[in-house]
């Protein structure tokens, strides 16, 4: 991310003077974790991961590019093309609620989705096209609105590739992938094109047969400050899935960990989007306008309770979502002076509208038996924001900001007309950041602010009692960023967050429902050490606690909230043509009910890769996923099913066993 630097001036207050006095710079170009954000970032938990670091990570799924965000865990409870499950800062984020994700300015989170609020599908993302991932945590940033309570990630893809790319990859369990990408001259600009096809069965007795095809076209001209680009993306995927299975049956040997309870589960999805990005710098200011429109369709067949509710036909259900969404964002940045002190003013306008048809149907072998819910609705949001950044002295700067949001919806409940209606909800969210330093290559941060997430608008018009459309959250954080130790970049933060409502997964319905308000707090420690240019180490540790605010002791644990996350890795680069990486991911046991009576197991994954540069153009890479071949739980829930006799029991989706992938990459 090209981060606009702060102009620095000498301070009249000697006790706030930084040592040494920062130099005036036109801009700082940050490409990844190896670059210093000292004096640039307004938080200890802002960061950037570049294409180089992404290429060094062995990935099981495209969504795992987001695990470069310290403390963030990506899992999957169904396999195939279903959206990933996200965990961060004591949140079971389900498929995206409370973590906002964007790609080139296009939001991935889908409000009021057929499978769950904030559903964010990453399956159409091609990791090799990502130039950088810019991430942030907490509700302290005025440009981020809905779903950004726990954090946000802004993925930026290449507008032009350094070299043409051909990738051929194959491996265990029927895995195969082919990617072709290049940039060519096209009129007054350049055209990037990429086409990918992939297939995977997974280790399951009934293979996923996950087939996907996707691609991207980007035409661009100019640079990051004065230019224009437009992008077309497409994706289609089809799959079968095992879903989660009862732990009790696996423990008795009645069911294989790779088995399933309903072989007809699965789904298909399609995505196509168009976006445009215009940038212009003039004098001391800069303008950016982004616009987009996309179409997304999903048909998903699941069965979590097997035959608990319908012993004759079974409990399979279909969740269907078809939507068209369009929106834009405009941002203006101006640099100047205020009372003789360097300042930056940022302001923006954001708009989005979704036209949605979705439904929930009882099915048997993917045949519809009855309609549980069916809706046609439109949901829109308008947000305005502003920030004022002042460099008071070389050792002290502040950022004061806020945003106002309005959500409006028109809901037509076809199955239950009484639940139809119109609704509007407004929310104002102030933000504050104070930064001290740098002193001795160390900066200190204090942040406080309000944010929000939206509830499913289908719940905001219920005749039985509507839910609030926008749910406020407030948080605070103190942090440190230091380069005091040679070649080591380290950050430490303590944070707190209160939300009015938490969306909890309801296993027997495959939906989420709002529950009581909650308090979360924790500590995060992130480190990146490069003792040599060819060798780097990273270690990220996050610990958190999530409790319901207004429930009695013994019933306060937030279901599914992960309390401990550790991610560590070592990377070797370009040693006589060889390179490699070893990565460890740990997330600890978590409570599966509010009383803490049911808990999941810990999950440990060790992945490795080794590559060799065959010649100037070709590289071969071998990746080994789940090197320890552990049979851990990728995700777990506690709920009733026919397999548990109608009593609560743990149902889980196992991590995939050890597997190998060999890739041949050509760059020309």
DSSP string, 211-268: EEEEEEEEEEEE-SSSEEEEEEEEEEEEEE----EEHHHHHHTSS-TT--S-TT-EEE
Q: What is the pLDDT of residue 510?
A: 44
What does the pLDDT read at residue 513?
66
pLDDT confidence bin for 617, thresholds 50/70/90: very high
What tokens appear for 606 in the block?
């060790």
Q: Which helix (H) or strand (E) holds 573?
A: strand 564-575
Mean pLDDT confidence for 48-62: 92
Does 516 score more than 90 pLDDT?
no
Can you tell me the mean pLDDT for 280-289? Answer: 93
Residue 152 has pLDDT above 80, yes or no: yes
CA pair distance 378, 314, nearest whole angstrom: 33
pLDDT in the model for residue 339: 85
> What's the pLDDT score for residue 609?
97
The structure's pTM equals: 0.93
pLDDT at 16 over 50: no
Q: Sign of torsion, CA 221 225 226 232?
A: positive
Q: What is the pLDDT of residue 105?
A: 96
Token pair of 186 as six digits: 């096209």
Average pLDDT over residues 245-274: 96
pLDDT in tens, 307-354: 999 999 999 999 999 999 999 999 999 999 988 899 999 999 999 999
Q: Is the pLDDT assigned to residue 497 strictly greater than 50?
A: yes
The answer to whether the beta carbons of residues 226 and 280 sit under 8 Å apart is yes
Specify whether the CB–CB gap between 352 and 145 falls below 8 A: no
Q: Give pLDDT tens digits for 452-473.
A: 989 889 888 888 777 778 889 9
pLDDT of residue 520: 95
Residue 101: per-residue pLDDT: 97
269-297 burial, b if ≥16 CB within 10 A, otherwise e?
A: bbbbbbbbbbbeeeeeebebbbbbebebb
4: confidence class by pLDDT, cuts 50, 70, 90: very low
Please tell me which residue, 478 or 225, carries the higher pLDDT value: 478
- Asked if residue 522 has pLDDT above 90, the reply is yes
User: 129 in helix, strand or coil?
Assistant: helix
- Gap between the Cα atoms of 561 and 566, Å rounded: 15
The DSSP output letter for 305 is: S
Question: What is the mean predicted confidence (pLDDT) over 267-289?
Answer: 95
The H or E element spanning position 91 is strand 91-92
Q: pLDDT confidence of 56, banded at 50, 70, 90? A: very high
pLDDT score recorded for residue 13? 31
Rounded distance between C-alpha atoms, residue 609 and residue 622, angstroms? 5
Tell me what pLDDT residue 550 has.
81
Total number of domains in the chain: 1
Is the CB of residue 337 less than 8 Å from the CB of residue 310? Answer: no
3-class SS of residue 284: coil
Query: Tens digit of pLDDT for each residue in 167-205?
Result: 999 999 999 999 999 999 999 999 999 999 999 999 999
Lowest mean pLDDT among 294-303, 553-562, 591-600: 553-562
Q: Provide the mean pLDDT of the chain.
A: 91
- Does residue 36 carry a pLDDT above 90? no
Mean predicted confidence (pLDDT) in 45-72: 93
Is the pLDDT at 24 greater than 50, yes or no?
no
pLDDT(420) > 90: yes
pLDDT higher than 90, residue 55: yes
Residue 566 to residues 34, 54, 591, 602: CA-CA distances in angstroms? 20, 18, 18, 11
What residues make up the domain containing 97?
2-667
Per-residue model confidence as pLDDT tens digits over 430-447: 999 999 999 999 999 999
pLDDT band at 28 (very low <50, low <70, confident <90, very high): low
CATH number at residue 336: 2.40.170.20
């Amino acid at each position: 991310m090209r981060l606009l630097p702060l102009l620095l001036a000498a301070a009249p207050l000697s006790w706030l003077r930084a040592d040494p006095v920062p130099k005036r710079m036109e801009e700082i170009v940050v490409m990844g974790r190896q670059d210093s954000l000292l004096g640039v970032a307004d938080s200890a938990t802002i960061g950037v991961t570049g294409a180089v670091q992404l290429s060094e990570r062995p990935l099981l799924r495209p969504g795992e590019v987001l695990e470069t965000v310290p403390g963030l865990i990506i899992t999957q409870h169904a396999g195939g093309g279903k959206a990933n499950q996200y965990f961060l800062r004591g949140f079971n984020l389900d498929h995206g609620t409370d973590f906002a994700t964007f790609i080139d300015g296009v939001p991935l989170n889908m409000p009021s989705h057929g499978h769950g609020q904030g559903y964010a599908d990453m399956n159409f993302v091609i990791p090799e096209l990502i130039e950088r991932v810019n991430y942030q945590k907490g509700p302290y940033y005025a440009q981020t609105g809905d779903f950004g309570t726990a954090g946000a990630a802004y993925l930026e893809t290449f507008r032009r590739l350094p070299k043409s790319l051909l990738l051929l990859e194959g491996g265990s369990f029927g895995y195969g992938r082919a990617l072709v990408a290049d940039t060519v001259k096209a009129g007054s600009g350049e055209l990037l094109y990429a086409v990918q096809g992939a297939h995977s069965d997974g280790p399951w007795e009934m293979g996923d047969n996950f087939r996907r095809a996707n691609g991207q076209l980007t035409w661009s001209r100019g640079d990051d400050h004065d230019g224009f680009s437009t992008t077309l993306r497409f994706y289609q995927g089809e799959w079968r899935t095992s879903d989660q299975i009862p732990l009790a049956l696996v423990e008795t040997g009645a069911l294989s960990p790779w088995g399933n309870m309903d072989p007809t589960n699965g789904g298909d999805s399609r995505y196509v989007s168009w976006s445009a990005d215009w940038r212009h710098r003039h004098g001391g200011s800069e303008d950016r306008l982004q616009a987009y429109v996309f179409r997304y369709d999903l048909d998903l067949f699941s069965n979590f309770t097997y035959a608990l509710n319908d012993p004759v036909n079974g409990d399979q259900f279909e969740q269907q979502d078809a939507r068209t969404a369009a929106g834009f964002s405009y941002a203006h940045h101006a640099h100047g002076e205020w009372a003789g002190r360097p300042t930056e003013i940022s302001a923006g306008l954001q708009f989005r509208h979704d036209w949605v048809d979705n439904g929930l149907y009882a099915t048997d072998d993917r045949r519809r038996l009855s309609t549980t819910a069916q809706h046609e609705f439109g949901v829109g949001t308008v947000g305005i924001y502003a920030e004022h950044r002042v460099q008071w002295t070389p050792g002290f700067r502040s950022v004061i900001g806020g945003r106002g949001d309005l959500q409006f919806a028109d809901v037509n409940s076809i199955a239950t007309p009484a639940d139809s209606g119109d609704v509007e909800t407004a929310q104002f969210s102030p933000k504050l950041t104070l930064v001290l330093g740098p002193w001795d290559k160390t900066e200190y941060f204090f942040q406080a602010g309000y944010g929000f997430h939206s509830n499913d608008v289908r719940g905001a018009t219920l005749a039985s009692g509507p839910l609030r459309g926008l749910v406020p959250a407030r948080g605070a954080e103190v942090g440190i960023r230091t380069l005091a130790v040679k070649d080591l970049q380290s950050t430490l933060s303590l944070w707190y967050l209160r939300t009015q409502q938490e969306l909890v997964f309801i296993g027997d319905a495959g939906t989420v429902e709002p529950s009581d308000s909650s308090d979360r707090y924790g500590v995060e420690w992130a480190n990146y050490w490069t003792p040599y240019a060819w060798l780097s180490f990273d270690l990220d540790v996050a610990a958190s606690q999530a409790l319901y605010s207004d429930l009695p002791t013994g019933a306060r644990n937030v279901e599914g909230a992960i309390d401990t996350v550790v991610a560590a890795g070592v990377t070797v680069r370009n040693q006589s043509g060889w390179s490699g990486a070893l990565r460890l991911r740990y997330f600890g046991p978590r409570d599966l009910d509010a009383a803490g009576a049911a808990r999941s197991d810990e999950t440990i994954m060790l992945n490795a890769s080794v590559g060799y540069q065959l010649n100037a153009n070709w590289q071969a890479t071998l990746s080994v996923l789940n090197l320890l071949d552990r049979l851990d739980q990728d995700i777990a829930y506690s709920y009733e099913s026919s397999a548990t006799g109608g009593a609560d029991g743990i149902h889980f989706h196992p991590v995939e066993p050890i597997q190998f992938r060999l890739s041949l990459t050509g760059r020309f």
